[in-house]
Amino acid sequence: MNPREIIDGIQWMGAVDWHRRLFDALIPLPDGTSYNAYLVRGARKTVLLDTVDPAMGDVLMRQLEPVQNLDYVVSHHTEQDHSGMLPAVLDKYPGATLLCTSKAKPMLIEHLGVDAERIRTMADGEELDLGGRTLRFVSTPWVHWPETMVTYLPEDRILFSCDFFGSHLATSALFAGEDPYVLEAAKRYYAEIMMPFRRIITNNMQKLRDLDIDYIAPSHGPVFDQPRTILAAYEDWVSPRVANQVVLPYISMHGSTQMMVDHLVAALVDRGVGVRPFELSTTDIGMLAMALVDAATLVIGTPTVHVGPHPSVVSATHLANALRPKLRYAAVIGSYGWGTKAVEHISGLIPQLKVELLGTVVCKGMPREEAFAALDTLADTIRDKHAGLNDAG
């Protein structure tokens, strides 16, 4: 794709990766992604903000061919999908200075071998005059590594946010407009990338609250030309508020756990509790992560394999623990053939979830009346706990 103008003197550059289906060899990308860089021209200075993933580096280098001079290159974030082409860009423009946070400097040297002499660190709130345009650097740690920052351009009211507010979405649209699918992709991105740092992001949001913003230009996905929508969504996602929802990841090997899940789902629905079951042998873990953004309760369903939980359940539980969603409650249900320590194993896998355990329902073989009654009691407990969610929030 060729460079595209956001406003006069500010261009989107970068690459749309239509066919990438996995990030970090872990995260599903059902809609591909993009690696956005931006070229900002002032009356006296020209700046490139971020680069692209080296896998598509040729696209950026081709876009830069007509650009005679760069005075600065800004690195908001050291992860290689944005920084990977910095060495090539700095080679092409030997007079350019690389701008980053003080935390990023050693990381750029360690990860990319950038010459320390080429780097100038920018303090939180420090400004750079380009001639008629000003870049103000705002430290925003943990979006998504500890060294990250964003750049605000006050004259044009543009926030260049890198991973912050991004979405893994390959699209020909430069702007998000009011497309609800962009917001869904942004929520998926938040769930997979940002959610573990929710409390720090709350502080970062506070720093942005007083800025007058017309555009948010992230480094993945389209540019938000109606930024209030994504800002309001983030305010909601990072808030302590939780929804009257149960997320229920599970596996069933011979049908017993499936019967328990089906019974519990029906019992929760009868009691006015929303529920999202995820059968883990087929589910997209991104969808599971998205469901965890708002839910109040996690119920894990597992059969027993060699005394412990099913490996797919272990993996999903580990993911939930790592993402640190704002869950309040948890429970475990499942079955076994001759003996089990599955509940003990699962309980040990969620030290980072600050949840109240509402109980366990585990049965030997096929569930019968007693197990179904215990599931009804669990559903009663969840309903009662959820009744006070707004008060507690």
**Smallest distance from ligand FEO to CB 194, Å:** 10
168 binds ligand FEO (CB under 6 A): no
Residues from 206 through 235 that contact ligand FEO (CB under 6 A) = 219-220
31 binds ligand FEO (CB under 6 A): no
Tell me how far apart the alpha carbons of residues 161 and 216 are, in angstroms, rounded to a whole number. 7
188 binds ligand FEO (CB under 6 A): no
Tell me how far apart the alpha carbons of residues 24 and 53 are, in angstroms, rounded to a whole number. 12
**Smallest distance from ligand FEO to CB 77, Å:** 6
The residue (of 176 and 295) whose beta carbon lies closer to ligand FEO is: 176
- Is residue 367 classed as helix, strand or coil in its secondary structure? coil
Largest alpha-carbon pair distance within the chain? Answer: 78
x-or-dash string of contact with ligand FEO, 125-164, rule CB under 6 A: -------------------x------------------x-
82 binds ligand FEO (CB under 6 A): yes
79 binds ligand FEO (CB under 6 A): yes
Scanning 36-44, 54-62, 78-86, 353-361 for contacts with ligand FEO by CB under 6 A, the matching segment is 78-86
Task: Identify the residue among 20, 77, 198, 385 touching ligand FEO (CB under 6 A).
Answer: 77
Q: Are 108 and 86 in contact (CB under 8 A)?
A: yes
Decide the pairing of beta strands 304-305 and 308-309: antiparallel
- Is residue 254 classed as helix, strand or coil in its secondary structure? coil
20 binds ligand FEO (CB under 6 A): no
Q: Are 359 and 381 in contact (CB under 8 A)?
A: yes
The residue (of 81 and 294) whose beta carbon lies closer to ligand FEO is: 81
Scanning 77-85, 271-279, 327-335, 340-348 for contacts with ligand FEO by CB under 6 A, the matching segment is 77-85
Buried (b) or exposed (e) across 150-166, using 16+ Cβ within 10 A? bbbbeebebbbbbbbbb
Q: How far is C-alpha 50 from the geometric centre of its chain's CA atoms?
A: 19
76 preceded by a cis bond (ω within 30 of 0): no
Question: Which residues are near ligand FEO by CB under 6 A?
Answer: 77, 79, 81-82, 144, 163, 219-220
